[in-house]
Amino acid sequence: MKLMNDVIQTSYHTTYSDYTSEPEPEIVLIGTAHVSHKSVEEVKEVISREHPDVIAIELCPGRYAALKGKTNDVSAKDILSSGNITLFLVHSLLAYTQNKIGSEMDVKPGSEMIAAIDAAEELGIEIALVDRDIQVTLQRFIGRMGFVEKMKMLGALAGMLFGFGGKEIDMERITEEDIVTQLIAELKEFSPTTASVLIEERDAFIAKNLLDLKEKGKVVAIVGAGHRHGITEYLEHPEKLPDINKLLEIPKKRFSAGKIIGVALILMVLATFTVIITTVSLDILLVAFGWWFIINGTLSGLGALVARGHPYSVLTAFGVAWLTSLNPMMAAGWFAGAVEAKMRKPSPHDIHDIANAESLHEMMNNNLFRVILVAALTNLGSIIGTFIGAYVVLQVSGIDIETIRAGVMSVFG
């Protein structure tokens, strides 16, 4: 354990051990909804009644700092260069959705956590942050998904956000589950294994940290109601706990089937242009290239336009897409996003404002969010443009696909 600013942060680098201690001191679990007045009152009541030695909260240091209004500055350049555009978008949409529901229910998201923190500080009780880092959780979640699953996930989030294309969030269930758990549960339809594994991983991680805290005395733990059953199972049967260190590993970027198809498509297009140059007229080459340029540029520019990008960002997306679509190491969204960041420079407060946005208007007027959205939708348009463009180029050139295949194979000997 480490003591930092009067908060105990349970070590993330724990090792498995067999727990054989007596039931006492006990661990009292409070399952809450993160946007419920009832949960706030229940937290206050239980803490007052139990007089715990430690109050454990389902927060990681990053979420704790955000709840206290202390967020680290994040630049658009850092997000674009790190390649974590999808991660940032998912995190932002989850935060916005939770704030939207909290606004409708007239309660600030995380109020029960704030109540627990305030009670602990007032009574001089130690606070333990027992959840896994949210960045690790999201990276593991997204890292295990394929391209199609990621697109379906973003579509599902957008549907829940704007009320189209699927089930709207059930307000009654919010009183029984925390919002993140419910959102992940909705996403099981698109990635059942990934979603369920990450729920169970957090259950195990929190349970392990709670068991480690028992040496401090009685523990009152505030967790999302959707986690209560899983955590209880691990507390009652600690021998079932997995190796916690493995739950902290970030999946390495894999060369997925989608990337293989993308590279093969690019090679096919390059081979097509090569065959056109060597066997067909220059006129056909110019026509084929013109279609490639227009299709890629139009769809990429349309993505930037839908994201309400600056005109220069839209023009940049249009102008570079033909080239970035031929290079798997480049992305049109990086360039469009960089121009957007220059034309509408994000402020240091934007990352905090995203977390507290209560309306779509606030989100779309946030420069940092718009930079990332421009990059994401430009990339999406470029991907679609690559497939359509490749098909049109083949049709315009009139070259047989077997000729192209032979050309690609000859490149690799």
Look over the chain and give the mean of its residue pLDDT values, rounded to a whole number: 75
pLDDT at 73: 58
Contact 411, 271 (CB under 8 A): yes
pLDDT at 261: 67
Sheet holding 2-4, edge to edge: 2-4, 7-9, 126-129, 54-57, 219-224, 27-32
d(CA 273, CA 78): 36
d(CA 7, CA 113): 14
The SS3 of residue 240 is: helix
Residues in a beta bridge with 57 = 129, 222
> Phi/psi class of residue 51: alpha, beta or left (left: φ > 0; alpha: ψ in -120 to 50)?
left
pLDDT at 212: 93
pLDDT in tens, 141-173: 777 777 677 767 666 655 555 554 545 555 445
Distances (CA, A) of 169 to 186, 285, 354, 393: 9, 52, 21, 44
DSSP 263-298: HHHHHHHHHHHHHHHHHS-HHHHHHHHHHHHHHHHH
pLDDT at 17: 33
pLDDT in tens, 56-70: 999 888 778 777 766
d(CA 108, CA 95): 12
Token pair listed for 185: 């549960």
d(CA 72, CA 223): 25
pLDDT in tens, 340-383: 988 988 877 777 677 677 667 777 888 888 888 899 889 889 98
Residues in a beta bridge with 68 = none
Ordered alpha helix ranges (H), 307-366? 311-324, 332-343, 350-355, 360-364
pTM of the predicted model as reported, rounded to 2 decimal places: 0.65
d(CA 84, CA 379): 13
Other CB atoms closer than 10 Å to residue 202's CB: what's the count? 25
Token pair listed for 145: 């998904």
pLDDT in tens, 240-295: 999 999 888 877 765 555 567 667 777 777 777 777 777 777 888 889 889 999 99
pLDDT at 11: 32
Long-range contacts, stretch 352-360, CB < 8 angstroms, 24+ apart: 352/66, 352/69, 352/71, 354/92, 354/95, 354/96, 355/66, 355/71, 355/92, 355/95, 355/99, 356/99, 357/95, 357/96, 357/99, 358/99, 358/100, 358/102, 358/103, 359/100, 360/96, 360/161, 360/162
